Amino acid sequence: MDPSWYLYAGIFFGPFVQEDAAVIAAATLSASDPQHFPTVFFVILFGLFVSDIWKYWIGYSAHASSRARKWAEKDRVMAMSDRVQRHAVMTLLAARFLPLARVPAYVACGYFKMNYVKFCVIIFVTALLYCMAMFALIHFLGEIFGDQMRVGLGLAAVAIIMTVGSVALIKRRRSKFEAD
């Protein structure tokens, strides 16, 4: 089996762990080895898209709970649902580029029962814009800084992953400690 499949599988599943670090890592690989460019770009784009779609269904499935259905009927929640539905493109575009906004926005879209096809189209377009912007930035910076940039971005991606993992671990331990 060609070992590049392992690389592409890692790139595809990367957004399920940490989207930003995965896109930066894929763009860095693409900048450092241009033969991977088209494949890496489409694999990360598809991985990003698929990792976002399942978040919609988390929110949608919340309606199986009677408490969630009851909560959805509150005036403030209905007003928020209306705003999200009317401004879907801007909401999802902002969520794509604002740190920590994606998961709540995508779950809310499912919870508010946004049209699924509309959600998928908007998510795909925002993922495409995000990937294009990150790849352009990394390739541009790679041209300016060369090998120094490649090493720096690789270290930055590892640092982001380590930071996110550490914060999650600390939060889990803190909540477990407070529960005891």
Nearest in space to 111 (alpha carbons), one of 79, 74, 81? 81
Q: What pLDDT score was predicted for residue 52? A: 92
Report how far residue 118's alpha carbon sits from residue 19's, in angstroms, rounded to the nearest whole number.
22
* Dist CA 151 CA 38 (whole Å): 21
Distances (CA, A) of 180 to 172, 173, 174: 13, 11, 10
Q: 158-167 pLDDT, tens per residue?
A: 777 778 778 8
The per-residue DSSP string of 81-98 comes to HHHHHHTHHHHHHHHHHS
Q: List, in order, residues 6 or more apart from 140 with CB less than 8 Å away.
A: none
Distance of alpha carbon 180 from alpha carbon 171, whole angstroms:
14
Residue with tokens 């993922």: 127
pLDDT of residue 165: 77
On the question of pLDDT at 28 being above 80, the answer is: yes
pLDDT at 180: 63
What are the domain boundaries of the chain? 4-179
**Mean pLDDT within 85-94:** 91
What was the pLDDT predicted at 4?
A: 76
